[in-house]
Amino acid sequence: MKKLVISILCLFFILCGCKENVTPSNVRVIAMKGPTAMGMVKMMDENDKGNITSNNYDFKIIAAIDEVTAKLMNGEADIAALPANVASTLYNNSNGAIRVIGINTLSVLYIVEKGEAINDIKDLEGKTIYASGKGATPEYALKYVLEKNGITAKIEFKSEQSECVGALLNDENGVALLPEPFVTTALMNDEDLRVALDLNDYYEDVVTGVVVARSEFIEENEAVIEDFLAHYEDSVKYVNEHIDAASALIEKYDIVKAAVAKKALPSCHIVLIKGIAMKEKLASYLSDLYNYNPKAVGGKLPLDDFYYGA
């Protein structure tokens, strides 16, 4: 009888523990308006339909990087999509308050122009190049390529990619560094525009974007992080394999119009790379940036604990 009572009590505590473990957590996620948000749209849609019940996800799409980092660092967000070097800088400046949990975007940078003047990287000599992303991957990738090729050019920074597109459209001799899907937006708005150069041809293995989480949140909610990554991975796969349906969702969430998304998605290089593969690729890229300018990554390379799951 005593053994039976003990068995029942053990079963009770096990069931109570299981119930506690599956209690949904509130998870606040911020995505940058662009490819990182595009990769999340299927997960966002499933969440809004009530098909994801493991946790209570709250998604926000924000255009300005400063707003994203502020919300992350003051605790208003738990998970956020950021430029790769910004994530490193935040880690270094906050004593490891954030960790990277995945690479979500590879290189999506292109030189776009009006006309036929730019046919080689050397043709950028003396040009004014409109660009967004000051202090982030676009700035350092562009400067790295220009310096590596001995090119002197003026970079005129705008606060958002849409401003770069506007400046390009209003300048007869305009040249701009644009990521997808803004490249497609520009081309669809002016038939005189063309993609002159693919920055991948001059700087391979660029990591444009990553997903990070607050270290404190990870420590207290590792199962939540794994749940998020599983849903996100499914979303990325869906977006890459179902271009038409994904494009409709991208318009639904006011990221870009479906027509733009449909043309841009194949060159957006949306991925989810985790664990050791993430560490190897990202650490190599951050090392390149550090060798170019230590400030690009926050003054020093991140320690191993920066890389979740590696």
Interatomic CA distance for residues 252 and 74, integer angstroms? 29
Alpha-carbon gap, residue 283 to 27, rounded angstroms: 27
| Sign of the alpha-carbon dihedral angle for 15, 21, 26, 29 | negative
**Which pLDDT score, from 0 to 100, does residue 1 have?**
52
Measured between alpha carbons, how far is residue 12 from residues 3, 21, 29, 31, 194 in Å?
Answer: 14, 14, 35, 41, 67
Q: What is the pLDDT of residues 112-135, one digit of tens each?
A: 998 889 999 999 999 999 998 787
Residue 138 and residue 179 in contact, taking contact as beta carbons nearer than 8 Å: yes
pLDDT digits (tens, 9 = 90+) for 221-251: 999 999 999 999 999 999 999 999 999 999 9
Q: What is the structure's pLDDT at 172? A: 81
Classify each residue of 191-210 as buried b or exposed e, where b means 16 or more C-beta atoms within 10 Å of its C-beta. Answer: eebebbbebbebbeebbbbb
List per-residue pLDDT tens for the chain, 310 residues long: 545 444 554 444 444 544 444 689 999 999 988 888 999 999 999 999 999 999 999 999 998 888 999 999 999 999 999 889 899 999 999 999 999 999 999 988 999 998 889 999 999 999 999 998 787 778 888 998 999 899 999 999 998 888 888 888 888 888 999 988 889 888 888 888 999 999 988 887 789 899 999 999 999 999 999 999 999 999 999 999 999 999 999 999 999 899 999 999 988 889 999 999 999 999 999 998 898 889 989 999 999 999 999 8
Q: How far apart are CA 71 and CA 76, in angstroms?
A: 5
- pLDDT for res 9: 47
Cα 8 from chain centroid (whole Å): 49
